[in-house]
Amino acid sequence: MSFPWANEYKPVHPFMRYLDERLPLPRFVYNVVGGGYPVPRNLNYMWNFGVLAGVALMLQIVTGVVLAMHYAANAGVAFDSVEHIMRDVNWGWMLRYAHANGASMFFIVVYTHIFRGFFYSSYKAPREMIWLLGVVIFLLMMATAFMGYVLPWGQMSFWGAKVITGLFSAIPLIGTPLQQWLLGGFAPDNAALNRFFSLHFLLPFVILGVIVLHVWALHIPGSSNPTGVEVKTESDTVPFHPYYTAKDGFGLGIFMILYTLLVFFAPNLLGHPDNYIPANPMSTPAHIVPEWYFWPFYAILRAFTSDFFFIPAKLMGVLAMFSAILVWFFLPWLDTGPVRSGHYRPLFRKFFYLLVIDVLVLGYCGGAPAAEPYVMISQIASMYYFLHFLVILPIVSSIETPQPLPFSITEAVLGKDEHSVLSPTSPAVA
């Protein structure tokens, strides 16, 4: 579906006409990210991050496929094969640093994309399906990133794998057999490393498939926009190309500059030194921490330190950690306010900024040692996290009085809208 005023693809060259009649792939691309997709004219730079996430995934796939040509998924040689890539493979150091830091850039971009969705309530009707698919993509990303971090088979790889797969043992009755079945052993070893490698190669392509659905679902209602007012007339939109290809091009430049700074000048900044020590099941690191992008959820996992009635603390932690993401699936029905954009929701906006601070605090505590005061801080912060989504949002969306919305996107941009009218007989509203 598209707006009736969308440009139509008109092949000029005879070959393109020939192709269009048999396999209209250029027409498809034109309608998805070309001149055939009308987009609200008022998108700000927060709307760059969807395209950037797509670029980040492509970078990961390209670097990852080449790395897989040189990597050996065997517990005996995995660590040395990574060092072989760093030292003896042509430009191998660049590929590996680009892949490791590419994962961090991917998460930076995706977290921004998700919080953009929170602020502008992008999850609201008619865009719930885009949001649900997005949460699925995020879950797949987390699984992929976790398994990728295991592959170098350093100390943090091994002990991270042990802690995270140990979460399954918290499930009553079937937990321990399930964990052993998933690992192919009692602890992470060659069997686990091999299946992690296999899945780490597979899942990015599953992500790609869900992204196709995510973008397809996006093209049904069209992109949201910072006012949250739906598109009314042609003057509210511009074609994706050249307007947003140009704007995304600039955003991509900034992204690549940050990425370059990490890869070439601080490639180990976001990593942990212990992962340059080969995996040793006999020696536990002093502090086991996952990669930075898991820290907020790791803090929630560790915040449950006491059994709650008959539920063991470990099971509570696991339930809470998964619920912290699963709760996003219910957002469209928890926040029922009629207005989308945080710009026009003064009360909602305050709680949104509180959530941002809360997640940053959780992230800081998740990277810190499991000691006081970090545990107590993460308990308070986890409490706010759950209350925010499950209690505060439903209440705020019921009681708040939103500020008046602009009449249309065009009016929001130009200050007047001469085209949109409430009815043919009424004058244009300023």
SS3 category, 311? strand
> What's the count of helices (H) and strands (E) in the chain, helices before strands?
17, 2
The CB density around residue 287, as the number of other CB atoms within 10 Å, is: 14
Enzyme catalytic residues: 219, 223, 247-248, 291
Nearer to another protein among residue 140 and residue 151 (C-beta): 151
Nearer to another protein among residue 277 and residue 325 (C-beta): 277
22-41: contacts with another protein (CB under 8 A): 41
Nearer to another protein among residue 91 and residue 353 (C-beta): 91
354-373: contacts with another protein (CB under 8 A): 371-372
Q: Does 167 bind another protein (CB under 8 A)?
A: no
Of 12, 22, 186, 265, the one binding another protein by CB under 8 A: 265
The CB density around residue 230, as the number of other CB atoms within 10 Å, is: 15
Of 257, 310, 423, 425, the one binding another protein by CB under 8 A: 257
Q: Does 3 bind another protein (CB under 8 A)?
A: no
- Residue 278's DSSP bridge partners are 154
Q: Does 273 bind another protein (CB under 8 A)?
A: yes
Nearer to another protein among residue 60 and residue 378 (C-beta): 378
Q: How far is CA 315 from CA 95, 146, 197, 307, 311, in A?
A: 39, 20, 28, 9, 7
Of 380, 405, 421, 428, the one binding another protein by CB under 8 A: 380
User: Which window, 101-109, 167-175, 193-201, 262-270, contacts another protein (CB under 8 A)?
Assistant: 262-270
Taking the C-alpha atoms of residue 403 and residue 47, their distance in angstroms, rounded to an integer, is 23
CB 352 within 8 A of CB 118: yes
CB 362 within 8 A of CB 295: yes
DSSP state at residue 236: G
Q: Does 404 bind another protein (CB under 8 A)?
A: no
Q: Does 1 bind another protein (CB under 8 A)?
A: no
HEC states along 33-52?
HCCCCEEECCCCHHHHHHHH
> Least distance in Å: CB of 385 to another protein?
9
Q: Does 306 bind another protein (CB under 8 A)?
A: yes
The CB density around residue 356, as the number of other CB atoms within 10 Å, is: 12
> Least distance in Å: CB of 351 to another protein?
14
Taking the C-alpha atoms of residue 27 and residue 98, their distance in angstroms, rounded to an integer, is 33
Consecutive H or E run containing 167: none
Q: Does 67 bind another protein (CB under 8 A)?
A: no
Nearer to another protein among residue 25 and residue 254 (C-beta): 254
SS3 category, 278? strand
Distance, CA of 395 to chain centre: 27
Phi and psi, residue 305, nearest 5°: -110, -10
The CB density around residue 44, as the number of other CB atoms within 10 Å, is: 11
> Least distance in Å: CB of 130 to another protein?
18
Of 6, 101, 274, 301, the one binding another protein by CB under 8 A: 274
Of 29, 311, 357, 360, the one binding another protein by CB under 8 A: 311
124-153: contacts with another protein (CB under 8 A): none
Exposed / middle / buried, residue 301 (Cβ in 10 Å: 0-12, 13-18, 19+): buried
- Taking the chain, what is the end-to-end CA distance rounded to the nearest angstrom? 30
Nearer to another protein among residue 90 and residue 425 (C-beta): 90
> Least distance in Å: CB of 95 to another protein?
12
Q: Please report, as ranges, the residues that interact with another protein according to CB under 8 A.
A: 41, 80, 83, 86-87, 93-94, 97, 238, 242-243, 246-247, 249-250, 252-254, 256-257, 260-261, 263-265, 267-268, 273-274, 276-277, 286, 303-306, 308, 311, 313, 316, 320, 323, 327, 330, 333-334, 336, 371-372, 375-376, 379-380, 382-383, 386-387, 389-391, 394, 413
